[in-house]
Structure 1
Amino acid sequence: MTLPVARLTVVNALLIPVSDTGPDWFHGWLTVGADGRITGIGPGDPPAVAGEVLDAGGAMVAPGFVSAHSHLFTSGLRGIAAGSTLYPWVRAMMEVFAHADAEDLYWCTLHGALDFLANGVTSAYNFTQSRVTWLYDPATASNTLGAVHPTDYLTRQFAAAADAGIRVMNAIRLDDEAMPEDETLGVFADMVAASAELVPTDQHLGASVFGAVQWAAGPRTAQLEAVVMDRHGLIDQAHFVETAQGVDVQRAKFAWYADAGALGPRFLFGHFVHPTDEMVATAAAAGAGMVWQPTSNGRLGSGFADVVRLREAGMRVGIGLDDQSCTDISDPFANMRMGLYTTRALHTDAGILMPRDVLRMHTLGSAEVLGVADRVGSLEVGKFADFVLVDHRAPSTGPVWDVPATYVLACGLRNLKRVYVGGRPASVEGRCTSPLAADADGELHARITRAARAAGLDPAL
């Protein structure tokens, strides 16, 4: 076998490729080319060793996690509104961010992105904080305008994800109810272009529509989202029927998307906790997907998303870590287990969802629903060499009876030793390699504290 010259050769690895072809795991090797993509992978020893050599020492090497639903800017508000459901919790956050400026959002997003990388998340779908801060009242199902910021409020978030080194898809909200339609569409187009300009090509997984019909006053928002999906060739991910609060109002808005022609393979429902049978059947028939947030749904008391029901209907499912202020620890291992265990409990069936299923959903499945599975989500030749090194022996998890089961059920952040993006180390022993990491904590604390105090909220520490 003749391989391209490797920049990095990984040897002595217990590989879990999460590929739909080949075995679930094997002892072997992986090579990375100069472009940061995988050039070879296989069992045993590599045909040749070149470039830098990473001896995994028998540790597990698996794809970096893909969070298909994230809000990176919330990294400074963990523990906020600790007993609140969705809408009071969101309002508590938005009252703070109404007093934040573009540089505050840069450091909040940078901190969130570095936190993801430190915890093995190498790709993220990122709902950016809109330059329009809305305060939603579920009692009246209406928005109150909190603040309107310049466009750099958004572009600095793009720059932060780029500077952190994470692969990112930037979701952009239309905010059509805050400005004339021509301006809405023009600003949106400018932000789509800025996302591609500010994020290096290999890091940029694309732009997306931040679906906002759940909070809209009328069907025009759905129509405009469909327009920009087609105009710019984008996917749309909409928060939908996430919470039991006002669920009848939320469900009624499903028809707005259907009537607008938005539903299809490029449409994703984020959460989709409380859909009717008719909604599930319609979404599945259209080819729409769903992104599951097990930890945040539990933290906010939103309810349980029955992914077994959705998958049986034919919907594709990915997994996201959602807001860092409602998962509190950006832990993909805990996120998988939370989803796995609660699903088994709901169905009183320990075999209804397996470790392989949730691992695939949080890697390749998430890449598939986002339309980027040609680049990330599994360890296969031609894809980016984004991987984690997880040592199940440090601390020891005991004998390994089932490799994917040990990885999902018994390993966690304590076993995560290294994170690689494009074959280059992004985190070692929980510490990011980015030179900006040294400043991120201090900047975040100072900036989010100032914004919170302006909103009348003082942190305890």
Structure 2
Amino acid sequence: MTRTAPLALTVVDALVLPGADDGPPWYFGWLQVGTDGCILATGPGEPPDDAATATVLDAAGAILAPGFVSAHSHLFTSGLRGIAPDATLYPWVRSMMELFRHTDAEDMYWSTLHGSMDFLANGVTSAYNFMQSGVTWLYDPATARNVLGRVHPDEYTTRQMDGTVDAGLRAVHAIRLDDEAGPEDEVLSRFARMVDAARDPGRAGRDQHLGVSVMGAVQWASGPRTAELEVAVMREHGITDQAHFVETAEGLDVQREKFAWYERAGALGPDLLLGHFVHPTDSMVAAVSDAGSPVVWQPTSNGRLGSGVADVVRYRRAGIPVGVGLDDQSCTDISDPWANMRQGLYAQRALHQDAGVLSPRDMLRLHTLGSAEVLGVADRVGSLEVGKHADFVLVDHRSPSTGPVWDVVATYVLACGLRNLQATYVGGRCVARDGRATTPLAARADAELAERIERAAHADGRSLAVTADELVSVAARRSRDAPVSPRRP
């Protein structure tokens, strides 16, 4: 057995779901992690006799599985769960953007930190993160044009990067070009600064940097120049692009017409990911399949916003690579990857009226290794294989009990959930346990987020139904009025 780093951790007595394409789908066994946070070895039975290690983690029969990969996320929305609860895409976005006009760089840091810790506490260890744009846009679907809301300084973007790093989440940082906000040379210069900031080794933390990408904005753009500039920066900086596309049935003709902008710009290919892709035409599906562009699917948020059901079975049959994302906390509300898998699995079976079109093993792969593949990071994350980062979850299907295990993968996907999640590990280091992030910042993050979002809402002329102060006063009153237990002799 060849080791690239000294042994730091051995996990024993685990029901391992490796998530790899080769080998068995599960086995009772062990996993070893080096001091570099990467997997040294794994296998069935007992670890080697020479496995002297500083730390042994006894899984006690719990499931050991890869951390989830969210291939499409907006972590800065963590303070907006339940916002615009009956709205479709465009009014929901407008409601958020009107509030974010009133936020600053530190507000975005705490919002992103909170969202990142929420992902980790729910078993998500890697995310493609669309950062809130350095320009707040107010999109008008009636005219299919953006209205400029506010231009923020560079720190508005870089502090969002810091939020993912400080939480311990691995991330691809997606940056919007904002080409319609000013002269092209200034826009391109700002974008280059943000790429450099994302790649700064001092910001990458514990190998948490997974890459940089363009936040594709053609869906919101007023002209084809946006697509041309996105392709230019992709090639200049060697990065990918993920675009929200045909996500909603609203203004569908306009959305579909803009697909040609990407085609003419030469954007289609493995480096252009299409987020949502709920309402494509037959010709669009054919073009995406021929070019090898991946699709990233958000089952829960598509349902919450009434956007529709993406025919992922059709895309897979056409040979289109597919990944899965948890999208916004403000439209998925609970960042629950198990619920996301079930929502997607059941919707596809219902759409095709066939329970055989997608299996639990297919669905698990889409939210782990498949998502890592479409992001171009499957050499580092997505499965428990030697050489990859030791990013995993411990899930106890017996607490609370899910009953007898007929099929290990089916039990994990269909019967387990956040209530069974014991802990999340990134690089072999525990980053969340029992639903809470372990970073010292976790104790402060809730209060910071509440205060900052309430302040922004007040500046926008809105108020929350229940404020943080009211919750504190209720807790204090309950503590004050609690009966005193009689003293025992």
Q: Residue 84 of structure 1 is aligned with which of 84, 87, 107?
A: 87
1:103 aligns to 2:87 (yes or no): no
Q: Residue 261 of structure 1 is aligned with which of 266, 270, 282?
A: 266
Q: Show the counterpart of 1:41.
A: 42
- Structure 1: 5+ residue runs without aligned partners? none
1:455 aligns to 2:456 (yes or no): no
Summarize deviations over 1:5-53 as a string: whole Å, max 9, x none. Answer: 4100000000001101100000000000010000000000011332200
Query: In structure 1, the residue corresponding to 2:160 is in which secondary structure?
Result: helix
Whole-angstrom distance in 2 between the partners of 1:455 and 1:369: 38
Q: Show the counterpart of 2:29.
A: 28
Whole-angstrom distance in 1 between the partners of 2:74 and 2:193: 21
C-alpha deviation, 1:2, in angstroms:
5.9
Q: Show the counterpart of 1:316.
A: 321
Q: Residue 57 of structure 2 is aligned with which of 50, 54, 63?
A: 54
Q: Show the counterpart of 2:115.
A: 112
Query: In structure 2, the residue corresponding to 1:7 is in which secondary structure?
Result: strand
Whole-angstrom distance in 2 between the partners of 1:237 and 1:5: 38
1:196 aligns to 2:194 (yes or no): no
AA partner of residue 30 (structure 2): W
TM-score normalised to structure 2 length: 0.93
- Structure 2: 5+ residue runs without aligned partners? 467-489
Q: Residue 128 of structure 1 is aligned with which of 105, 124, 131?
A: 131
Q: Show the counterpart of 1:427.
A: 432
Whole-angstrom distance in 1 between the partners of 2:7 and 2:324: 32
Whole-angstrom distance in 1 between the partners of 2:407 and 2:453: 44
Whole-angstrom distance in 1 between the partners of 2:215 and 2:206: 21
Structure with max Cα Rg? 2
Aligned-pair identity in percent equals 71
C-alpha deviation, 1:456, in angstroms:
1.3
AA partner of residue 24 (structure 2): P
Whole-angstrom distance in 1 between the partners of 2:220 and 2:426: 36
Query: In structure 2, the residue corresponding to 1:104 is in which secondary structure?
Result: helix
Q: Show the counterpart of 1:251.
A: 256
Q: Show the counterpart of 2:280.
A: 275
Q: Residue 336 of structure 2 is aligned with which of 331, 334, 343?
A: 331
Whole-angstrom distance in 1 between the partners of 2:219 and 2:427: 37
Q: 1:385-400 counterparts in 2 under 5 A?
A: 385-400=390-405
Query: In structure 2, the residue corresponding to 1:425 is in which secondary structure?
Result: strand
Whole-angstrom distance in 2 between the partners of 1:349 and 1:264: 31
Q: Residue 73 of structure 2 is aligned with which of 62, 70, 73?
A: 70
Aligned CA-pair RMSD = 0.8
Q: Residue 176 of structure 1 is aligned with which of 170, 176, 179?
A: 179
Q: CA, structure 1 residues 214+2, in 2 after alignment: closer, same or farther (shift >3 Å)?
A: closer
Whole-angstrom distance in 2 between the partners of 1:6 and 1:333: 32
**Following TM superposition, where does structure 1 have runs of at least 4 consecutive aligned residues deviating by more than 3 angstroms?**
1-5
Q: Show the counterpart of 2:475.
A: none
TM-score normalised to structure 1 length: 0.99
AA partner of residue 80 (structure 2): L
Q: How many residues align?
A: 461
Summarize deviations over 1:110-154 as a string: whole Å, max 9, x none. Answer: 000000000000001000001100000111101100111111100
Query: In structure 1, the residue corresponding to 2:7 is in which secondary structure?
Result: coil
Query: In structure 2, the residue corresponding to 1:457 is in which secondary structure?
Result: coil
Q: Show the counterpart of 1:228.
A: 233
1:186 aligns to 2:189 (yes or no): yes
